[in-house]
Amino acid sequence: MVTLPSSLVTLNDPLFKQKSLAVSIKRDDLIHPEVSGNKWRKLKYNLEEARSGNYEGLVTFGGAFSNHIAATAAACRVNGIPAIGIIRGDELTPESNHTLRKATDDGMQLRFVSREEYSLMCKETDFLASSYPRHFIVPEGGTNEYAIKGVREIWEELDQRYDYFLCPYGTGGTLAGLLSGNRKGTIMLGFSSLKGSFATPALTDLLDRFAIHNRSFRMVDDYHFGGYGKVTRELLSFISWFEETHQIPLDPIYTGKMMYGFYELVKRAYFPENSRILVLHTGGLQGKDAFEQIHSKKIR
């Protein structure tokens, strides 16, 4: 079921040729049909810990459309680990959308809490640990030391040196994990899917917390398209164009925004000639069709 190392594919595009760039994409979206991309990497050692430690199950958190919730539910089903998902929004039910329906079908027990209670639970891990004393707790977005260890393994699958390595940014676990294993002078570019300029300080905090000293990253935070989970017609048509041209699907929340931003940077000659560039496809294709259907109706 698991395809590792994930495949590495050259992206041929007249634009890249014109700018003398060698571009490859690492298809982590193909690692697993249900637990794809960076979620698989981030969960690997968390699941190992949840299984080998003396736990009754695993507890984690997420929003209504969380890929992390979907991935964790599927991974726990496959591994026979009882899972509880704390979901932000007490107006929601297991029937609210595809992600929550699927998580429930995978056996995850969902607990819907108010936004206030949710942020309290995310911050006050002691409080949570006392509510679920015999459970292994995975933080929001799955970012912890186990996740960083799992993501770092991507480097072991790469033989070549790259000048730039691009990935999307959500909670920063993926970017932090990649930075923790970055030894060859590669510049990491994080594409934030969130509105605002807090991504850089948030990542810096995360790096401090995990004692990751490599700081060779740049944050690109102007391709959020209005913020997390927001899309525009232009973004969706770029995603369709990319998919038709390269036969590679992209999700509208993370990888589509990163790829759009990447093309814009290439057009603006951001990358010096002869640069070797690697783009990480972090997956996220679960629920893509449902998401696009809902949103294409709303956009003008």
Ligand X SMILES: *Cc1c(COP(=O)(O)O)cnc(C)c1O
Binding flag, residue 284, ligand X (CB under 6 A): yes
Binding flag, residue 171, ligand X (CB under 6 A): yes
What are the angstrom distances between the C-alpha of 245 and each of 20, 28, 29, 239, 249? Answer: 19, 19, 18, 10, 10
Of 37 and 261, the one with the shorter C-beta distance to ligand X is 37
d(CA 255, CA 36): 13
Q: How far is the CB of 254 from ligand X (least distance, A)?
A: 3
d(CA 252, CA 228): 10
Q: How far is the CB of 19 from ligand X (least distance, A)?
A: 25
Binding flag, residue 46, ligand X (CB under 6 A): no
Q: How far is the CB of 273 from ligand X (least distance, A)?
A: 29
DSSP per position, 99-111: HHHHHHHTTPEEE
Binding flag, residue 173, ligand X (CB under 6 A): yes
Q: Which stretch binds ligand X (CB under 6 A): 31-39, 85-93, 101-109, 227-235?
A: 31-39
Q: What are the backbone angles phi and psi of residue 206, rounded to the nearest 5°? A: -60, -45
Q: How far is the CB of 167 from ligand X (least distance, A)?
A: 7
Strand order in the sheet with 135-137: 109-113, 83-88, 57-62, 135-137
Binding flag, residue 28, ligand X (CB under 6 A): no
Q: Which stretch binds ligand X (CB under 6 A): 57-65, 112-120, 164-172, 221-229?
A: 164-172
Binding flag, residue 170, ligand X (CB under 6 A): yes
Q: Which stretch binds ligand X (CB under 6 A): 93-101, 173-181, 205-213, 215-223?
A: 173-181
Tokens of residue 149, six digits: 């260890």
Number of residues near ligand X (by CB under 6 A): 21
Binding flag, residue 181, ligand X (CB under 6 A): no
* Residue 63, SS3 per DSSP: coil
List of residues 6+ apart from 140 with CB closer than 8 A = 60, 61, 62, 68, 122, 171
Q: How far is the CB of 276 from ligand X (least distance, A)?
A: 22
Give the ranges where 132-249 is alpha helix by DSSP (H).
145-152, 173-180, 199-209, 233-246
Out of 6, 60, 67, 72, the only residue in the binding site for ligand X (CB under 6 A) is: 67
List of residues 6+ apart from 20 with CB closer than 8 A = 273, 274
Q: How far is the CB of 277 from ligand X (least distance, A)?
A: 18
Binding flag, residue 256, ligand X (CB under 6 A): no
d(CA 258, CA 288): 16
Strand partners, 60: 85
Q: Which stretch binds ligand X (CB under 6 A): 79-87, 101-109, 117-125, 280-288?
A: 280-288
Binding site for ligand X (CB under 6 A): 37-39, 67-68, 141, 143, 168-175, 251, 254-255, 282-284
